[in-house]
Structure 1
Amino acid sequence: MKLLDIDNNSKMPVYLQIAASIMAAVRDGHLVRDQQIPSINEMSEEYLLSRGTVEKAYKELRDKKVIISVKGKGYFINRTDINIPLRVLLLFNKISNYKKQVYNAFVKTLGDNVFIDLHIHHCNVQLFESLINNHLGDYDYYVIMPHFYDQKEKAVEIIKQIPPAQLILLDKDIPEINRPHAAIYQNFEKDIYEALYEALPSLKKYTSLVYVNPGIVPYPPEIMKGFRYFCRTQDFDFSIIEGIESNTPVKAGEAYIVIEETDLVNLVKNCRNKGLVIGKDVGIVSYNETLLKEILLDGITVISTDHEQMGITAARMIQEKRRELVKNPFKLILRNSL
């Protein structure tokens, strides 16, 4: 077993990284009480460290009573009841109601003995690069939502700097990483196709489908691709529009697939202003479930991944030290708006 995990680019002093590595090994059960650890000279030679640095780390561990020195024999683990919280860097692409669901479930499942540092990269590769470079080696796990729409190749190279055992991708996998990392992902293209196919009997009431593409906030292009594929394979007339404003024409016989909530609100207002009955004259399918959609207009039909389950699965992967690729559940909730 590799005892030390040293990152020379980290802002954490090397002696503290040595101490943290040994305490983490104790926490994880790799080192047990009375077990001997390498001498200062052995540690220095094996990891190409200065003797003074290792000495300083061992003093830190002795002061915490984690190790003891036995004259003529060496250093031994003295305590295994140390409380060392896991450190997790959580990197979201944006803050939204859905991301809050993921975050709350993640935090609740991990419990109290975990330090979680949340940052937002706003799909900006330069900001993302700065966040990773400034924190490499500072955390036990890096949980990342890798939604990038420009410079994707560069983002992949940045992510590859993170040791695979410490990396969990959230919401989207990146096969190009080509390393044994963990991911809890959506299959955006396939998910929307299968959800709309399940809603096919209700959608057949309408003559055409309209996909409302968010104008400002980027979403995975695979969602639109899956919508197009569904319409073509099921012989639906369809159109794609950029957002919905107060003056956007809405016609009877259309069913709308709406991604952003602002567009959903404007669509509902436009229907009311024109006297169109939602669920009869106009159909609405909204992307991503919220409590409000359950009661609005006696229920808005949604297609949605299970955001809470995504957070729970990520947390359990950390707790159980699993490295898997897990597709997150995606479902249709059929309500009165369709």
Structure 2
Amino acid sequence: MKGLQIDTSSKIPVYIQIADSIMAAVRDGILTRDQQIPSINELSEEYLLSRGTVEKAYKELRDKKVIISVKGKGYFINRTDVVIPLRILLIFNKISNYKKQVYNSFVKALGDNVFVDLHIHHHSVPLFENLINNHLGDYDYYVIMPHFYEQPGKVLEILRKIPSEQLILLDKDLQELTGNYGTVYQNFEKDIYEALHEALPALKKYDSLVFVNPGITPYPMEIEKGFRYFCRMQDFNFSVIEGIEMHTPVSKGQAYIIIEETDLVNLVKICRNEQLTIGKDVGIVSYNETLLKEILLDGITVISTDHEQMGVSAARMITNKKQERMKNPFKLILRNSL
């Protein structure tokens, strides 16, 4: 019997793993009504398990009427109306309002009979490794945001432990990773270039562009790369600064591209103190849409991926049992701050 998910190092008893794997195969249509399954001896020999362990699993399945035994013939699938929740391990790099949008849309799109276990790796490779090692074989799918800025080879090694048909990457693809895994990704360099190009008529009224690097907060370096490429292609004067503090000099004629909301708040305060009019004297383009940015200062211009769609797309791969690689929509929302 192929495809049985057994992990002898898991904290879940092996007989439960056997029973759950068979019920999951019934749920997914791999095993059908009246189909014969291996005998206790055959299964124990194939997976090097004790006969008693397999007997215990089959008793569990008989008690639930999932299988029946026919004397002299063996074991057969008895019913296909098996309700066994999908178990999903969802691993984010950090907690934020945007991650909350992804989570909520993901869980909603999955519907009932799904268990989602959320963990955060905080960009830590050792923590991520422990999460995967401790949970291999415990879940039907592993949905992961692979935002790491150290030990890229180690990250790939950890991800390769997960069967590719059970793996979905969110927010970022890893070209070096092979296999039939799914991904809903952003193209950070191309996305910012195209969004700024769309905003070009509004940006042209400013003398220079300033990219605000979040500093100690890790972020995809491709964003800054796309910004620099845009400025060179459009012949803009530009600079890159490390965060915005209350003492940061801000001049009339500058437009700021900001990732972190703390920097956005500080810039707004500085403009207010210096009596600089946002959208006229100073321009602002903020990363990631929120409800607050719709109304703050009569509207903050935003460049943002569609976080809700990211969650929905990942959920549909699971419900449709079809791994895909798709770019998530990215958009410019032009408002009064530019």
The TM-score bracket by the shorter chain reads: over 0.9
1:244-323 residue pairs with structure 2 within 5 A?
244-323=244-323
* More off after superposition, 301-310 vs 178-187: 178-187
Take 1:107 and 1:217, find their aligned partners in 2: how far apart are those partners? Answer: 27
The equivalent of 1:180 in structure 2 is 180
Q: TM-score w.r.t. structure 2 length?
A: 0.98
Deviations for 1:173-216, whole angstroms, at most 9, x for unmatched residues? 01111222100000000100010011111100001000011022
Asked whether the 8 Å contact 1:3–1:22 carries over to 2, the reply is no
**Partner residue, 2:216:** 216
Question: Between the two proteins, what is the percent identity of the paired residues?
Answer: 80
Q: Which runs of 5+ in 1 are unaligned?
A: none
Tell me what 1:191 maps to: 191
Cross-structure match for 2:136: 136
Match of 1:73 in 2: 73
Structure 1 partner of 2:149: 149
Return the TM-score normalized by structure 1: 0.98
Q: Write the distance in 1 (CA, Å) between the matches of 2:3 and 2:51.
A: 17
In structure 2, C-alpha distance between the alignment counterparts of 1:314 and 1:289, rounded to whole Å: 20
* CA distance in structure 1 between the partners assigned to 2:67 and 2:288 by the alignment: 51
Give distance in 2, aligned partners of 1:3 and 1:41. 17
What are the equivalent positions in structure 2 for 1:17-96 lying under 5 Å apart? 17-96=17-96
CA distance in 2, matches of 1:252, 1:322: 52
Per-residue deviation, residues 220-249 of structure 1 (Å, max 9, x unmatched): 010011111111111111111111111111
**In the TM superposition, what is the alpha-carbon distance from 1:312 to its structure 2 partner?**
0.2
Aligned CA RMSD, in angstroms, stands at: 1.0
More deviation, 76-85/45-54: 45-54
Counterpart for residue 15 of structure 1: 15
**SS in structure 1 of the partner of residue 104 of structure 2:** helix
Q: Which residue number corresponds to residue 241 of structure 1? A: 241
Deviation for aligned residue 1:37? 1.1
The alpha carbon displacement at 1:3 in A equals 4.1
Which runs of 4 or more aligned residues in structure 1 lie more than 3 Å from their structure 2 counterparts after TM superposition?
Answer: none
**Offset, 1:49:** 2.2
Ranges in structure 2 where 5+ consecutive residues have no aligned partner: none
**Counterparts of 2:159 and 2:30, CA distance in 1:** 27
Q: Distance in 2 between matches of 1:8 and 1:227?
A: 49
Per the TM alignment, residue 277 of structure 1 is displaced from its structure 2 partner at its CA by: 0.5
In structure 2, C-alpha distance between the alignment counterparts of 1:46 and 1:220, rounded to whole Å? 46
| Separation (CA, whole Å) in 2 of partners of 1:174 and 1:15 | 36
| 1:125 partnered with 2:125 | yes
Distance 2:316 2:3 in 1: 24
Could you tell me how far 1:298 is from its partner in structure 2? 0.8
* Native 8 Å contact 1:36 1:75 kept in 2: yes
CA distance in 2: counterparts of 1:16 and 1:191, whole angstroms:
46
In 2, the alpha carbon distance for the partners of 1:213 and 1:9 equals 43
| Secondary structure of 1:212 counterpart | strand
Note the alpha carbon deviations across 1:290-320, whole angstroms, 9 max, x for none. Answer: 1110111111000000000000000000000
Query: Residue type matched to 2:17 in 1?
Result: Q
What is the CA–CA distance in structure 1 between the aligned matches of 2:3 and 2:148, rounded to whole Å? 35
